[in-house]
Every structure is written in structure tokens, then in C-alpha cells.
Amino acid sequence: MTDFSLVLANLFSHKLRTALMMVAILIAFLIFGFLAGIQNGLDNVGGKAAESRLVTVNKINFTQPMPVAYVNRIRAVAGVDNVSFANWFGGYYQDPRQVIVTFAVDAETYLQIYRDDIAMAPDQRAAFLSTRIGMVAGRKIAERHGWKVGDRIPLSSNIYTNKNTGTQTWDFTLVGIMDPASEEANPDFILFHKEYFNESVTFGRDTAGWIVIETADPAQNGAVADQIDAMFANSPAETSTDTEKAFGQAFLAQLGNITLIITWVVGAAFFTILMIVGNTMAMAVRERTKEIGVMKTLGFPDGRIFRLVLGESLLLSLLGGLPGLGLAALGLSAIREGIGMPGLALAPFWAGVAVLIMLALGFLTGIIPAWNALRLNIVTALGRQ
Amino acid sequence: MRLLNQIIAVSTINLKSLPQRFLPSLSTIVAVALVVGVLLAFMAMAAGFQRTLQGTGSPDIAILMRDGSQQEVNSVITLDQVRLVGEAPGIVRKPDGSPLISAELYVIVDGVKRSTGTKANLPLRGIGADGPALRPGMTLVAGRMFAPGSNEIIVGQALSKEFAGFDLGQQVRFGTTVWTIVGTFAMEGSVFESEIWGDVRVVQSLFQRGSSFQTIRVRMQDQGALDQIKAFSEGDPRLKLAVTSEQDFFAGQSSGTVKLIQYAGWPLAIAMALGALAGALNTMYSSVAARSREIATLRCIGFGGTSAFIGTLLESLVLAVIGGLIGALAVWLLFDGASTSTLGQGFTQIVFSIALTPALVAQAMVLALGVGLIGGIFPAWRAARLPIAAAYAQG
Amino acid sequence: MSDLITITDAAKRFVKGRETISIFDKLNLTIEAGDFIAIMGPSGSGKTTLLNLLGGIDRPTDGAISFDGARVDKLTESQLSAWRAANIGFIFQFYNLMPMLNAARNVELPLLLTGLSAKERARRVQAALKIVGLDQRASHLPREMSGGQQQRVAIARAIVADPKMLLCDEPTGDLDRKTADEILGMLQLLNREMGKTIIMVTHDAEAARYANRVLHLDKGRFVEQGAMA
């Protein structure tokens, strides 16, 4: 027998009570793990590459278009390596309530800039670049609708009208399937050629919804962005340029202060667990007053008794917390695909924070009982007076 | 009657001894209060959002948009179409015989949310001369109406409170154009209070929209008019517009966001309730253990197991109800009526007030009672089956 | 035989509320190594307090206590802990076994305070359990054993670290006559065969007969035989 087995024996002397405590702690860390995963997902919107890309939008709002001529003017700015642009198509397939993210893009430059995000078979890529009415779709979208490469797909827009037919529907040929090229990427969208868009829409021709820029040196992003915005200042369409990541996060912030809500919920959950576990530990140690008195009588030093009690609460915290964290990680990976948020995972940083919180929880709930055990007087503990 | 007396006696003993187990009992109360608080905070947010959208729009106003566009911001309508719609049957006409109609433009501009300092999408709506007449309940609370043909705007009071820079008399820049805020309006807490209104012709020209619009609003003569207008639109290949009553249009906008909040709130609350349940069970088991001698003594005297069972269960329920009420009260004091905003389906911010309704409190209390019931029933069972010999056992 | 314990002019007073209660004043006692002493006396006579002082779980208000020539009452708390672990074995009326540990682990507890290897500890536990005749019950929990068996586990725990002195507080107070005689016989054996100095507090005159010497304590003073100390 070791001190560890003594701690275990103490901990499981009340199996039901310990099991209930473990459940409470498990749930707290399950909640923590889940919400930390969501926070991680929000923090990593667009993936790592997004930090090295800039997005230029109309300063009034990103839904307002810019003249397409801006693209070439930006290409001439020093420090800009690649430029591409896209228009929001407002696409849907048969059911107008189910919007499919669809972009009309300058295909060659777009695929070049997103080379680390979009993976496509070389022959499909070549077919896309050479097919005027070709489109490529993310694998999940194609599977959802049962599309195969070579299929003729009628896609509608909830904004534009096709001047060739007078309807809102365009005919496309599916020429390629996109897969994520990295773990952070999620090409859950449809791309088609801006030329096809431009020649067939009744309005919105020769505009760029947003412009994507790859800079030569991410350290110069700020300077490049300032230079671009200065170039279009006082024109009818002023611009606002930021990193793709900052842009994505500013958009998410519009949903509400999610971080604040997460902090409150996690705080409430932990306060609950702290109260419950702290109380129970105090109760457990109080019930063992006599046994602790006996151990002291046998000659166990105060420090060792202190460590035994503190060890018990730390162990309880870890035994409940680690499985909770594990369950959260499993749950996150299960829903990651469904939600399509690649960053939705328990990052090592958050797992580390969780373990620190477990230790803190174990320490906080155990410190007072352990101190009381340390100070326990044998004569009173054993009722020998 | 005898059983009732026994139950009263046991419950009194239990409840009077609560202060002796102050901390464990308090932990149960706090745990239940936090569970109820988290649940209600989410539900009250969903309810507030829903209330704002369902309180928006009139049943006798029809909205016409391009078919398939779903949202005002997507739709495109030409001046010709506006003229055609003006001839539709069933719409209210002014004394001069011209239709009561407002063709509107809905563009999104950037604002800054006061509470977080982050960018937010705000709707700038260009309205026609009949626009205000098609908005029953709208009142100017400060300033005046914008002058037609000018760079003047009026703002909803909710928007003005929630976003920076929209106070009366201030000037705002959208791109290179500068606008002056000349009035603030209220409209019964509806979505319209989250909007900026200007003259549609000025918005068209300053946003380079030519003569295009996005939506048309008309007042209908009666309930049957909606179908008349639909048939009229269907029958003319130049129109083919989607026609809905304004009330139905806004009511349909709430479901996505409300479901999202509810789908986040319930699992969280249930997970936390399980944690609180573990705490409640512990508290009650220890309560039974602490009173085992008293319970056994009562059993010796001749009290039945039922009274021990009910007395224990009651204690747990009382703790849960106290916790639930505290949680509900805290949400009511802290959040009820507080205004916040989120991105609506129209791609712009909708300001709404958090609304704690009695129905929500009832739901949350059911959850609290569930925790109290399950947390009490097993310990109560143990209390009822406690060996009577425990009365003599040496402690 | 040499003196193992010397108590010189020991006093013990408690402050209870506004009153000061004196358990004893100027108590003197000498115990030789290898002795088996029974201490008898009515409730409140100070028996338990005396045993507390002898075992180093309480300190005298005045006076001196020496063990093997060294002052016990001058030791710090942590020194006292180490001293108890090395020199004293305790046997209580209600056994005071750890309910969550089985017999072997209960017996092993004092050995955790030594530097012995796990293997050596297991050997000693087995040997101690054999002495009390419970080597077949090593894996039983206290609640699975009778009172007599539990007390034998407690005795094994008391002797496993090979202390010089055993302190027994009403060791048979909770047992029937037959079991009590077995336990007392075992204590006598430990005294005679292993040379353990035993001090036993008891109410039971029958039990006291197993001792070499009986001291009567009354109101903090030794009477009759006690007078000679």
C-alpha cells in the first residue's frame, strides 16, 4: 500500500457520493470543453492562412459592390503578390429557403490564392478553367444533392436575373469537386466563372463584391492595407481593407458577444461545481475526523495528513475532469463535420487551461478540509477527554 | 389524518434542522439557481427576439418582392413593376385615386455597436412619400421627418440607443456621402426601430441604384385582397412577384435565430441540471445520514416509513424551489428588459429586449422541481428504510 | 528491569468555560520495561487522560514525562508523531480501524511511516496477522469481521512496527467474556513472549487480573497500590 492507494481508499469509501461528485465535475468540464471548442472554432475562422490574406470591401458595408477596375489597381500596389475577387451570387438549388454559398470568381487567381485551402484533382481543375459554364462544388454540397461530375445543374440566384432566359436560373456543368487541402480549410461552397456571371446578369456587371489579396510579406499587411484604402479615398466607392481573419471575426461578432456568453455560462457551471464539491469534501473529511485522529495517533505527521486530504480532492477533480474533457473532445469531433467549422476542436491550449482549472478546483475544494485535518487535535477527534 | 400529522411532524423537524446543514443546503439552492438562471437567460433572449419579430408588421399591409429572393436585401424591383403594382386590385387608394404605395430600397451600411465597439450591419431604408402612412403605430419621438429630396434621415430609437453616432442632430458618413439625423422614431418596439430611413430617391442616387427598388408595400382593402394581389402578380409575366402580408413576413424571420438560441440553451441547462442533481442527491443523502438517529427514534415511537419518506422529499423540493425562484428573480432583475442585438435573417442587426415571460419561469421551475424530486426521492427511500436499530447505535 | 517511563509531578488542567477543571496534580508514576500494568478507576478518575499523556497524544500542564530517559513532554508535535510511530502501539475500545481498508492494509498503516520496502512491509503484516491468528482474513474489511476479530486486527496494527509499549484503552469493553479472555490472553502472551510493556486501562476486574500489577486511580490520585509509586 502507498499513500496513493490510501487516497484512493478514502475517496472510494463512499462510492455513491464520489460517483456523484465525479459526475458533477465531469459535466462541468464537458461544458467547458465544448464551449472552449466553440471559442477555438471562432478564433480560427478562415484557418491560419487567413492571417496572411487581406480582404478589401466597400467601406459603406461589405454587401456594397466596388468597380471591378479596383482589382487591377490593387495588383499594382507594392507588396501585393496575388489578387482575386468574387461576387456573392445568393445561390440556391430548387428550394429558395436553402441558400448555397455560391461565388462568381476570377477562377485562376482565386484557386491560386486559396491553393492551401482548396484541393482538386488536376484534370478537374483544368476542366474548370477551360469550361465557361463550369462550376466546382465542395464535396459535401455535391453529396447532399447527389451531383456527379459531368452533371448539368440548374442553379438559381435569389438576387440576380439571367438576361438570356429572363429567369433567375443559370445552367452549369459540374466539372470538379473541391476537398479541404488542410485541416483548417472548409470549402463548403460553389465557385463559377465571373465571365459567365458578367455576360448574363441584368445588373451588377463589372463589379467586385470583395477583393482578396495575398501579400508578399504578412508583416507588411498593415502598410499594404493602408495604401489600398488611401488609394480609393474620396472616390464614390471608398474601401476598407483588413486581414481575412479579422474580417471573418468582425462578421461573427455581429451575431452577438458569444465570448461573453461562453464566459458567463462556464463561470456559472464552475461556481456550481465548486460549491457542491467543496461542501462534499468538507463533509467527507468531517465524517472521517475519528479516522484522521487514529492516523495521527499512529504517528502520521500533520504534513502527510494534509497531503493525503488535498491529494484526495485533487484526484477527485482529475478523475471527473479528464473524462469530461475527453467526452467533450469526442463530441466536438463528432459534430465538427456536420457544422463545417474546422476549428471546432479541443485545442492543446484549452486542454491545458482545463487541466489547470482541475488542479485549481481540487486545490480550492481540498484546502480547507486539509487544513482542518492538519489542525485536528487527537484528543478531541477521538473524544478522549 | 394520522399520516398527515406524522408527515407534518417529520417535515417540521427536517425543515427546522435546515440551518444546521446550512452550507450543504445552500450549495443545492445556489446550484439550482444557477441552472435556472442559465436556462432563463437563454430562453428570455429567444423570447425577446421572437416577440420583437412577431410584433412587427401589419396584417393589412402587403410586401411584394422578387420571387425567390426571401429577404428584402436580395430583391430587385424596377420602376415599371412599381407602376404596374399600383394598378393591382384590392389596394387602398388615396382620395385622388392614386394607390397608397411605397417602393423602397434597402441597403446595408456599417455602424458601430456601443457595447462592444464592433462593426455592425445596419439597414438604411429609402422610403417613398407614402412610407410613413404604411407604418401604423410609427411616431416621431424627437425632431422632425426628413425633408424629401435631402440628405436627411430619421432613425429608430432602438438603433439610436444600441449603436454609436445616431443621436439627433449628428451627421453620419456612408462612404463619401454625409447624412444628417433630423428625427428619432418609435414603432411599438418593432424591427423598424432598428432601421434608418431616408428619401428613397436620394438613397437611389447616392448609392448608384438608378431607378431600381427592392420592395413594394401597399395597404390592402380587406383580407381577401392578398389573394387578389397574388393573382394579379401571377397573371402578369412582367411582375411574377412574391406577395406576403407584412405580419407573416416578419413572423417567418424569427424561427432560425430563436431555434439556435433554444438549441444552445436547453442542452446547457440540462447538463448543468445533471451536475446540480448530483449535488442535491449528496446534500439529501447526508441530510438523511445526519438525521438517521432522529428518524429512527421517531420510527421507534411508532411513526411510519411514509412520513420519513415524504418529509425528506419535501425538504429536497423546498430547497429546489427556493433555488429556482432565486434564479428566476436574478434573471428578472439583471436581464429582463435589457436590450441587445443580433444579426437577423435580413442580414442586418435587429435590436430586441430580453423578455422573461411567466411561461418561461414555469418551464424553468419544472426543471428545478425535477432536480428536487429526483434529488430527494432516492435519499427519501433510504430514510424510509432506515433500520430502527439506528436509534441505539453508538455514534 | 530498567525504568521505561517516569512521570514526575505531572498535572493536567482543562479550562472549560469559566471553570478550570483539574484532572490531577503532582502525579508520580514509574513503569519498568516489560511490565504489564492495569489501571482501574471510576469514570472521571483521569485514566484516559493518563493514557493520553503516556501515549504522547496530550501534554501535561506541569511536570515531566520521560521515556527511556528522554523527556517526551518537551518534544514538538512532529517529533511526537515520529516518537509515537516508533515506540507506541495503541489499542482502543472500539478498535478504530479504517472502515475502507481491509485487515492487511489496516495493519500496514504504521509501516507507511517507516522506510521499509513494500515486500518487507507485506512480510511484517503477514507475521503480525499470524500472531493474532488472522492471517487467513487479511483481505476482509472491518465490517466483515466480528468485534473480537477487529480487535485482533487492531492488536496486529499495534505491534506491527515493533513498538516498546502498548497502550490499551478498555480493550475488551465492547466484547463478551469469552472473546475478552482471548484478547487478554493474547496481550499477556505479547508481554511475556515478546517483552512488550503494556499499560491497560479497564473497568473490568477480571481483565485486570491478567496484569502483573494493578493501579487504582481515583480523583487524580493513585490509591492502595498506587500509593507506593
Higher pLDDT, C2 or B95: B95
Helix, coil or strand: residue B341: strand
pLDDT band at B69 (very low <50, low <70, confident <90, very high): confident
* pLDDT tens-place values along chain A, 385 residues long: 788 888 988 888 888 889 999 999 999 999 999 999 988 888 877 666 667 899 999 999 998 999 999 999 999 999 999 999 999 999 999 998 888 999 999 999 999 999 988 999 999 999 999 999 999 999 999 999 999 999 999 999 999 999 998 889 999 999 999 999 887 788 899 999 999 999 999 888 899 999 999 999 888 899 999 999 999 998 888 999 999 988 888 888 888 887 888 888 888 888 888 888 888 888 888 888 888 888 998 989 989 999 999 999 999 999 999 999 999 999 998 888 777 777 788 889 999 999 999 999 999 999 999 998 888 888 888 876 6
My answer on whether B307 and B231 are in the same domain is no
Residue pair B76/B239 in contact (Cβ under 8 Å)? The answer is: no
Mean pLDDT, residues C92-109 taken together: 89
Position B41 in a domain = yes
Rounded Cα gap, residues B144 and B155, in angstroms: 11
Asked if residue B356 and residue B294 are part of one domain, the reply reads: yes
Which residues of chain A neighbour B207 with C-beta distances below 8 Å? Answer: 60, 64
Write the CA distances from A295 to A313, A378, B130, C116, integer angstroms.
19, 9, 89, 18
B127 falls within a domain: yes
Per the CB < 8 A criterion, the answer to whether A60 and A235 are in contact is no
- What's the structural domain count of chain C? 1
Read off the pLDDT of residues B166-175 as tens digits, 9 standing for 90 and up.
999 999 998 7
Residue labelled with grid coordinates 507485506: C122
Report how many domains make up chain B: 2
What's the CA gap between C71 and C165, in Å, rounded? 16
Tell which wins on pLDDT, B277 or A51.
B277
Cα-based angle B122, B124, B130 (whole degrees, multiple of 5): 140
Q: How far apart are CA B200 and CA B202, in angstroms?
A: 5
The CA-atom distances, in angstroms, between C43 and each of A238, C40, C220 are 98, 10, 11
User: Are B150 and A212 in contact, with CB atoms under 8 Å apart?
Assistant: no
Distances C210 to A38, C76, C184 between C-alpha atoms, Å? 75, 35, 7
Give CA–CA dist A93/A95, Å, rounded. 6
Residue B149 has pLDDT above 70, yes or no: yes
At which residue does the C-alpha cell 411561461 appear?
A: B359
| pLDDT greater than 90 at residue B223 | no
Closest C-alpha to A353, from A42, A39, A48: A39
Q: What is the reported pLDDT for C229?
A: 35
Task: For residue C106, give how far its alpha carbon lies from the nearest alpha carbon of chain A (Å).
Answer: 10
Closest partner residue to A237 (CB to CB) among B175, B271, B347 is B175
* Res C227: pLDDT: 37
**Domain extents in chain A:** 3-45+256-381, 65-236
Say what the pLDDT of residue B395 is. 40
Please give the model's pTM, rounded to 2 decimal places. 0.84
The rounded distance, in Å, linking the Cα atoms of A221 and A241 is 10
CA nearest A241: which of A46, A52, A54?
A54
pLDDT at B383: 87
Chains contacting C with at least 3 CB pairs below 8 Å? A
Distance between first and last Cα of chain B: 34
Domain range for B14 is 2-54+254-391
Average pLDDT score, chain C:
89
Task: Give domain status of residue B246, yes or no.
Answer: no
Residues of the domain holding C192: 3-228
Q: Is residue B143 part of a domain?
A: yes
CATH number of the domain bearing residue C123 = 3.40.50.300
Backbone angles phi, psi at C28, to 5 degrees: -125, 135
**Joined grid coordinates for residue B78:** 424596377
User: How large is the greatest C-alpha to C-alpha distance in chain A, in angstroms?
Assistant: 103
Q: What is the C-alpha separation between B102 and B215, in angstroms, rounded?
A: 8
Whether residue C228 has pLDDT greater than 50: no
B358 and B214 within one domain: no
Domain shared by B164 and B196, yes or no: yes
Q: In terms of C-beta density within 10 A (0-12 exposed, 13-18 middle, 19 or more buried), how is residue A14 classed? A: buried
The pLDDT value given to residue C224: 63
- Chain A residues in contact with C157 by the CB 8 A cut-off are 298
Same-domain check for residues B95 and B149: yes
| Helix, coil or strand: residue B173 | strand
- Residue in B291, B271, B276 with CA at minimum distance from that of residue B374: B276
CB of A161 within 8 Å of a chain B CB? The answer is yes
CA angle A86, A88, A89 (to 5 degrees): 120
Strands (E), B210-270: 215-219, 241-245
Residues B267 and B229 in one domain: no
Match 424569427 to its residue by C-alpha cell.
Answer: B254
Flag if A294 and C98 touch (Cβ within 8 Å): yes
Is B31 in Cβ contact with A238 (below 8 Å)? no
C-alpha cell recorded at residue A361: 478546483
Asked if residue B232 and residue B92 are part of one domain, the reply reads: yes
Residue C113 has pLDDT above 50, yes or no: yes
Residues B125 and B90 in one domain: yes
Higher-scoring residue by pLDDT: B300, B147:
B147
- How many angstroms separate the Cα of C181 from the Cα of each of A364, C42, C130, C189, C194? 50, 22, 19, 12, 19
Q: Residues of A with CB below 8 A from C88's CB?
A: 299
* Most A-contacting residue of B215, B241, B286, B292 (CB-CB within 10 A), to test interface: B286
- pLDDT score for A154: 95
Residue C225: per-residue pLDDT: 54
Cβ–Cβ contact C222 with A under 8 A:
no
Least confident of A316-320, B307-311, C4-8: B307-311
CA–CA dist A68, A62 (Å, integer): 15
Confidence of residue C213 (pLDDT cuts 50, 70, 90): very high
